[in-house]
Amino acid sequence: MATIIGGLTTSHIPAVGNAIAKQLFDDPYWKPFFDAYPPIREWLGDHKPDVAINIYNDHGLGFFLDKMPTFAIGAAHEYRNEDEGWGIPQLPPFPGHPELSWHIIESMVEQEFDITSCQELAVDHGFVVPMQLFWPGAPNNPDMPRAVPVSANTVQHPIPTLKRALDFGKALRRALLSYPEDIKIVVLGTGGLSHQLDGERAGFINKEFDRMCMEKIVTDPEALTKIGRIELVEKAGAQGTEFLMWMMMRGALGEKVTPLHSNYHIPISNTGAGTMMLECAA
């Protein structure tokens, strides 16, 4: 039977991909950000998950505003990383786990979540940057797990509510735990935290709100579901809606988690960058 060992969160800013390519790990601007990841890599090295469920949002590479699924799940043998215009070096394909993907899709539909299933899916920095941060050299890291991409709409309104996101995670948990194969799974919640990249509030960051979210997502994620979609935009910025993917991850971990590591740093590319490592209760 499958086991969910924990959840990881990280921002997925495209500038991070360029910083990785240029190896700016000790650059004064980047060092406080990159210093958050060695403890997580050590934990991953100790536990060696077989599969990473990577919850991210597409930025126009796999989907666009004319066709933006609320929830999409990859069911491919591999996931191509293609050029999206940021100058980030393209990487080889990431290995998939189509058997688990179809099991998840079937289970989610049974639980009344309408899923877009993708037998081909190009993945952008939202998916790729977290994989590079957690498994350096990805996808060529020897401990690289097989991936199941889960894309959520955080761009084209109406977006899912935080309650719907948390409920999705709970349904995902049931799907994963019902998979008969003996595998270890880690769930990634990517994006955010607060940031706004355009308009009159460009550069907006809300440190107090970010810190509250990082606390409550551990101790009382249900309390966060009371934040409405418009309120989320007001408090986290237009792109801070990506926090809903953290909520999807959190729902998949069960009621109680143990926080093992966290980091919060501003500003990285006008973003409140949060990193967390949560271990599932035994």
Residues forming the active site? 125, 195
Residue 196 sits at φ, ψ, to 5 deg, of: -140, 125
Place of tokens 């190896």: 23
Q: Between the CA of residue 136 and those of 40, 111, 130, 194, 264, what are the distances in Å?
A: 12, 36, 10, 26, 20
Q: Between the CA of residue 221 and those of 6, 70, 211, what are the distances in Å?
A: 16, 21, 13
Output the CA angle 191-73-249, nearest 5 degrees: 40
111: CB partners within 8 A, 6+ apart: 171, 174, 175
**Coil/strand/helix, residue 247:** helix
Give, rounded to a whole angstrom, the gap between the first and last alpha carbons of the chain. 15
Burial 160-181 (b: 16+ CB within 10 A, else e): bbbbbbbbbbbbbbebbeebee
Closest Cα to residue 161, out of 216, 243, 272? 243
Strands (DSSP E) found in the chain: 3-10, 51-56, 71-74, 78-81, 94-95, 116-118, 122-123, 146-152, 184-190, 257-265, 273-280
**Coil/strand/helix, residue 13:** coil
Closest Cα to residue 10, out of 261, 279, 204? 261
